[in-house]
Amino acid sequence: MTYVQDTVEVTYDGQLRTQAKHLASGEEIVTDAPLDNHGLGQSFSPTDLVAASLVSCMLTVIGIRAEKEGWPMQGVQGAVRKVMTTAPRRIAELHVRLSFPHRFQAIEQETITRLAQTCPVAESIHAGILVNLEISFDGA
């Protein structure tokens, strides 16, 4: 494997808080341990970022295809509910809801579903994590 330049640098700031910097853009994300795991819960937890990454990836991959096909994406929304286990502490389930307020043909709905299920983050999630995907096409 060829070494590629680092993508993100993370600094531990103390009190269970980190600061991640995206090196190409300079954008930063702060993480904080959740209240139920000794933290202040004042920002995304690292596992919240996994959950958010999944939905963001799904919508991005669908958006790429939508631009190519001319599908409307205005107003599309996603949400995720994360379920943790305690021993060991890890993500057990991710329940994703995507809502499309526009009309799509059945074949387009199937394509959108497949794209969501096979986005890079979905393909990277451990098989031991249940991912439940619910998509509503309210315009249909």
pLDDT at residue number 136 = 97
- Cα-Cα-Cα-Cα dihedral sign, residues 63, 134, 116, 55: positive
pLDDT above 90 as % of the chain: 93
Residue 59 CA to its chain's centroid (Å): 9
Q: Are 27 and 21 in contact (CB under 8 A)?
A: yes
pTM for the predicted model, two decimal places: 0.92
pLDDT at residue number 139 = 60
Each residue's pLDDT tens digit, 26-42: 999 999 999 999 999 99
CATH fold, domain 46-137, is GMP Synthetase; Chain A, domain 3 (3.30.300)
Each residue's pLDDT tens digit, 37-79: 999 999 999 999 999 999 999 999 999 999 999 999 999 999 9
pLDDT at residue number 5 = 86
Tokens of 5: 């330049």
Between the alpha carbon of residue 61 and those of residues 66, 85, 136, the distances in Å are: 9, 29, 17
Domain assignments of the chain as residue spans, ordered by start:
1-44, 46-137
DSSP 128: T
Residue 77 three-state SS: strand
Q: Are 102 and 79 in contact (CB under 8 A)?
A: no
Helix, strand counts (H, E) of the chain = 3, 6
Which residues, other chains included, contact 137 with Cβ-Cβ below 8 Å and sequence gap of 6+? Answer: 100, 102, 103, 104, 109
pLDDT at residue number 10 = 97
Distance CA 117, CA 139 (A): 21
